[in-house]
Structure 1
Amino acid sequence: MKQTEGSSPVRFQEGRAVYLRPIELEDAEMYHASLYHSRIRELTGTQKIYSREQIRRYLEGKMQDSSSLLLLIALRDTDEVIGDIALQDIDLLNRSANLRIALFGDEVLGKGYGSEAIALLLDYAFGILQLHRIELNVFDFNPRAQHVYEKLGFRKEGVQRDALFYNHKYHDSITMSILEEEYRALYGAK
């Protein structure tokens, strides 16, 4: 999705190829459509069917929720939205959160966009929010994502056996995390 003429998107965190921007109610239609790409539904374990109104209410709720941060991933050169990324269950007392990411289409997979988006969000999470631990879950049928997360510094913590029933079969969910000192050692942050 491109910005309307004359408007300039907010570039919350900016990298070489992508930037992260806040999601707006005007994004509801595009966000709704993104939920129906069959491969993305599988990779994210999305099982429910959502109406446009449900998505609109979801986005309104996310915008008011201080325990989560939902951002869109856009290409730097064209402003095209190619995915979303979120910090969820932000716990400032224990300095932890859960991360999730989805890219909207096979044509944007394998180009480093997701890795860059995660690195941008980790920089914000550890540098501004001062979090100590960020975890994520990845399904066992997605070894490509597991490899990417490991390259970014996430370590496997455990397996939730048969946690997802999708397409007539049970799948394990692998929990991975990164701690602030691991992030700082890997990325050279202070």
Structure 2
Amino acid sequence: MTSMERARPARFLRGENVYLRPIEAEDAEWYFQSLYDDENRKLTGTQLHYTREQIANYIAGKAQDRSGVLLLIAANDTDEPIGDVALQNIDAMNRSANVRIALNPGRTGRGYGSEAMRLMLDYGFGIVNLHRIELNVFAYNERAIRAYEKLGFRREGVQREALYYDHEYHDSILMSMLAREYRELYLRRG
């Protein structure tokens, strides 16, 4: 392989249309740019600003962090990064974790996010042996709420006015799925 060729990325978790792979130092610029998309910032509630160096350090730190797994979502046909998904705050004693996802603009509404979440749920329940996976979604992100419910997440409660964004307070909805619910939905149907 010449220095101009790049090795094919590792495909850690594989789906029909997307795969999940470890995020690498070479992905820092893509990650940095995705943080500055207006829609992504609003949907994720990102309030702070970050430098390229901070992002590079964050990615390097995640490689050593055993309390979570940060994976890049890539299109099967092009290997193009289209988002990221993270299983974070893994609590081994209580067998629980939090999941979060972000897709690039123009990549939503095609099932990529649902497929990536399903891959991460299968990993969390089937490999990491979690009992409970939770997420938070802001009330104004109705498309994500519907997608999470379709995946099998259940609403647990509302954190009232938990996010201040664009001159307003917004509610955060707590949702979760238990391992037995995942298995009933996905393993019995195939």
What TM-score, normalized to structure 2?
Answer: 0.96
Distance 1:12 1:182 in 2: 24
Count, aligned residues: 186
Note the 1:15-54 alignment, pairs <5 A: 15-54=15-54
Q: Give the deviation of 1:104 after TM superposition.
A: 1.2
**Map 1:1-190 → 2, pairs under 5 A:** 5-105=5-105, 107-188=106-187
Deviations 1:142-176 (A, max 9, x none): 11100100010100000000000000000000000
Between the aligned partners of 1:119 and 1:110, the Cα distance in structure 2 is 15
- One-letter amino acid of the structure 2 residue matched with residue 118 of structure 1: M
Q: Which amino acid aligns with 1:155?
A: R
What amino acid sits opposite 2:42 in the alignment? E
Structure 2 SS opposite 1:108? coil
Q: Give the aligned residue type for 1:57.
A: N
After superposition, give the CA deviation of every residue in 1:10-45 in whole Å (9 maximum; x if it has no partner): 000000000000001111111101101100100000
- Structure 1 distance, partners of 2:27, 2:107, is 19
| Whole-Å separation in 2 of the counterparts to 1:95 and 1:45 | 26
Instruction: Please give the secondary structure, in 2, of the residue aligned with 1:135.
Output: strand
The alignment-based identity, stated in percent, is: 63
SS in 2 for 1:48: coil
Letter of the structure 1 residue corresponding to residue 66 of structure 2: S
Q: What stretches of structure 2 of length at least 5 have no aligned partner?
A: none
3-state DSSP of counterpart to 1:97: strand
Q: Secondary structure at the match of 1:134?
A: strand
For residues 188 and 72 of structure 1, what CA distance do their matches in structure 2 show? 25
Report deviation, 1:5: 3.1
C-alpha displacement at 1:186, in angstroms?
0.2
Unaligned segments of structure 1, at least 5 residues: none
TM-score by length of 1: 0.96
Write the distance in 1 (CA, Å) between the matches of 2:126 and 2:147: 22
